[in-house]
């Protein structure tokens, strides 16, 4: 393909991307989204692909309403580059020429000079392990040089497992985050502090639903963070990877089985106690003295696998694993594994629906099979060991 052909293709792809973003902005405006939520949506795109800034700003003139104008003024308040500010001003001028009006001045009730906003907390999220546990860290600057740090280990079945709330120096906190908290296989990633507070509150609510007392120090942390809110309750990954980008691409779902080849997914297994009955049924079928053809035996064993799938993953448990995949997709994205993040999002979206008996969710199906296989191997290893022991003749 010649240079002109490549440039034309790139222009078409850019136009398609801009059109898709504009469509999402219009849809959000139709649903009465707040200016803050619209700004967050646009910022999530520009953080990933800053080259979209000018084309998107210019294209916003195609949505001539006051909500668009307020979005642009919000973008201008955040912008630092002069060329971005000039582009925004040009688009605002075009909107005004088209009859769009909006409030630019402060209301009478607002002071002309606003006090500086308090520093927003830093946040860090850890990788989810096989049991559903992860680390949450929230750090709030304190004057003059200290940092108040909430460190929690939370579990999506048990609530808050461990919690600590104490003060660090800035240097001490940096060393703490870089040191024992993170590893190559189980990294922690920077996350908006408000999002981390939201997740900690989720764990707290679960803790209380289980009628367990909250750990010492939690109420102090709650007071410290009471004025910080997270406006979007959906998993943060959807600010970066939209559902429409993956749900109609079946190869993402099919390839999600490959997630089990990388950490931490390769270390994810289902609890053995949940599978013991199915392991016993499978080993009995394999050793059955009833004369069956290989096809009949396979059919019988496959029926046990399917029975396990539906019984081990009722709706509430299926949605639990959906959330785990969504949260892990964000970790993958932030550690530079965008392709794997899309696979995780695709598998998660598929888990909104009941399993297909013909082609069940590839990620969960593989999770079930590998968990069963390792338990079945243990059964045969124990039998071999017992047989060897019985053959030993004692003098």
367-379 pLDDT per residue, tens: 999 999 999 998 8
The answer to whether 242 touches 342, Cβ cutoff 8 Å, is: no
**Residue 30 pLDDT > 90:** no
**Pairwise CA distance, residues 231 & 38, whole Å:** 11
> What would the pLDDT profile of 66-125 be if each residue is shown by its tens digit?
888 888 888 888 877 777 888 899 999 888 888 888 766 444 444 444 445 556 789 999
Residue extents of the structural domains in the chain:
7-97, 122-233, 245-389
- CA pair distance 262, 184, nearest whole angstrom: 12
Average of per-residue pLDDT values in the chain: 86
- The number of CA neighbours under 13 Å toward the Cβ of 189 is 19
pLDDT confidence band for 388 (50 / 70 / 90): low
The whole-angstrom separation of Cα 138 and Cα 196 is: 7
**Do 344 and 327 touch, CB atoms closer than 8 A?**
no
The pTM score is 0.69
Q: Out of 53-62, 219-228, 367-376, give the one with best mean pLDDT.
A: 367-376
| Structure-token pair, residue 364 | 């969960």
Residue 167 tokens, joined? 């003060």
Q: What is the per-residue pLDDT for 104?
A: 61
Instruction: Examine residue 264 and say whether the peptide bond preceding it is cis (omega within 30 degrees of 0).
Output: yes
* Residue-level pLDDT at 235: 93
Q: Tell me which residue of 287, 297, 301, 295 sits closest to 372, measured CA to CA.
A: 301
Q: Which residues pair with 153 in a beta bridge?
A: 135, 162
Look at 51 and 329; give whichever has higher pLDDT: 329
Chain centroid to CA 89 = 35
């Amino acid at each position: 393909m010649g240079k002109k052909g490549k440039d034309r293709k790139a222009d078409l792809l850019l136009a398609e991307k801009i059109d898709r973003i504009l469509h999402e902005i219009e849809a959000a405006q139709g649903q009465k989204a707040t200016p803050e939520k619209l700004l967050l949506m646009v910022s999530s795109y520009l953080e990933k692909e800053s080259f979209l800034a000018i084309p998107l700003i210019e294209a916003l003139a195609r949505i001539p309403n006051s909500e668009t104008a307020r979005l642009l003024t919000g973008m201008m308040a955040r912008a630092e580059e002069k060329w971005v500010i000039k582009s925004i001003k040009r688009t605002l001028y075009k909107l005004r020429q088209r009859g769009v009006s909006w409030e630019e001045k402060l209301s009478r009730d607002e002071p002309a000079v606003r006090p500086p906003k308090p520093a927003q907390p830093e946040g860090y999220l850890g990788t989810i392990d096989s049991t559903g546990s992860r680390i949450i860290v929230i750090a709030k600057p304190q004057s003059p040089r200290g940092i108040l740090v909430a460190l929690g280990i939370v579990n999506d079945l048990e609530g808050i497992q461990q919690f600590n709330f104490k003060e660090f120096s800035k240097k001490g906190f940096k060393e703490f985050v870089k040191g024992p908290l993170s590893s190559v296989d189980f990294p922690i990633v920077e996350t908006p502090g408000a999002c981390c507070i939201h997740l900690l509150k989720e764990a707290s609510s679960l803790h209380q639903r289980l009628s367990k007392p909250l750990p010492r120090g939690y109420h102090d942390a709650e007071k410290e963070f009471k004025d910080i809110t997270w406006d979007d309750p959906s998993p943060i990954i959807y600010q970066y990877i939209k559902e429409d980008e993956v749900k109609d691409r079946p190869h993402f779902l099919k390839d999600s089985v490959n997630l089990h080849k990388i950490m931490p997914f390769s270390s994810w297994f289902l609890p053995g106690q949940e599978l013991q009955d199915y392991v016993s049924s499978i080993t009995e079928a394999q050793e059955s003295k009833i004369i069956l053809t290989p096809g009949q035996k396979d059919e019988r064993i496959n029926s046990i696998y399917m029975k396990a799938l539906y019984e081990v993953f009722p709706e509430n448990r299926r949605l639990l694993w959906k959330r785990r995949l969504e949260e892990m997709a964000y970790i993958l994205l932030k550690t530079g594994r965008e392709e794997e993040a899309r696979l995780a999002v695709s598998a998660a979206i598929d888990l909104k629906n009941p399993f297909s008996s013909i082609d069940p969710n590839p990620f969960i199906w593989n999770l079930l099979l590998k968990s069963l296989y390792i338990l079945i191997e243990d059964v045969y290893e124990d039998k071999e060991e017992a047989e060897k022991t019985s053959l030993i003749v004692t003098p």
